[in-house]
Amino acid sequence: MKKLFIVFIALLSLAANYAHCRAASTTSEQQPATYSTNLQPIKTIPVIRGKGWKTSERFEISNIEGFQEACNAEEQIIFHVEGKSEQMNVDEASGFEVAATIYDRTRKAGHHADKVGNRAEVEYDPGKRAWQVKLTAPKVSNDNYAIVVSLYCREKDSPCATTYGYGTQINKILQVKVR
């Protein structure tokens, strides 16, 4: 009887996870949102968005250059993000894009660190083969901010979407202290 109860609980958990994944994968065909519900320092999280991953192959965030773990309040934070794929170049021409947002890790998931200026300006630099990310540190000093950096397939008919699936993305979470 005890084993049957454990199996029943495991099946309920699987059903709940399946329902959550199905709800996430049936979102509209617009550009995927950038968010995370488990903000931990320096962590990579595969996120299934859009129609989901088409293959077991994955692209990844391979390098973050110039990121500093501490900065002053309202200081501009600038760093570069590079991606890697065994199948193709990870760049705008292949349909990839980068987005970044800063959060206060002590608040509930989805709450932004400030009302204004928390979403990064991102521009692809073909010379570096990387995206330059610029955002402004929050006004309030805190050791518990995190920047969620997302690399995703943004173009529907791109090589990225054809290979991996439209809207597939990978997140990297960086802890940052604001003095």
Per residue in 68-107, pLDDT tens?
A: 999 999 999 999 999 999 989 999 999 999 999 998 877 7
Nearest-5° angle of CA 102, CA 34, CA 24? 145
Q: Is the pLDDT of residue 151 over 50?
A: yes
Are residues 131 and 98 in contact, defined by beta-carbon separation less than 8 angstroms? Answer: yes
Q: Is the pLDDT of residue 16 over 60?
A: no
**Distance separating alpha carbons of residues 121 and 133, to the nearest angstrom:** 6
DSSP secondary structure string, 26-48?
TS-SSPPP---SS--SSEEEEE-
Instruction: Give the global pTM.
Output: 0.68
Longest Cα–Cα distance in the chain = 64
Q: Is the pLDDT of residue 8 over 50?
A: no
- Per-residue confidence (pLDDT) for residue 20, from 0 to 100: 33
pLDDT-derived band at 14, boundaries 50, 70, 90: very low
According to the per-residue pLDDT averaged within each range, which of 26-40, 52-66, 95-109, 164-178 is highest?
164-178
* Structural domains of the chain, with CATH: 2-178 (2.60.40.10)
Cα-trace Rg, the chain: 18
**Distance separating alpha carbons of residues 40 and 8, to the nearest angstrom:** 31
Please state whether beta strands 169-178 and 70-71 pair in parallel, antiparallel, or not at all (unpaired).
parallel
Q: Is the pLDDT of residue 7 over 60?
A: no
Are residues 112 and 101 in contact, defined by beta-carbon separation less than 8 angstroms? Answer: yes
The percentage of the chain sitting over the pLDDT mark of 70, rounded to a whole number, equals: 63
* Runs of H (alpha helix) within 2-121: 2-25
**Distance separating alpha carbons of residues 51 and 72, to the nearest angstrom:** 40
At residue 84, the 3 state secondary structure works out as strand
Closest CA to 26 of 5, 7, 2, 50: 50
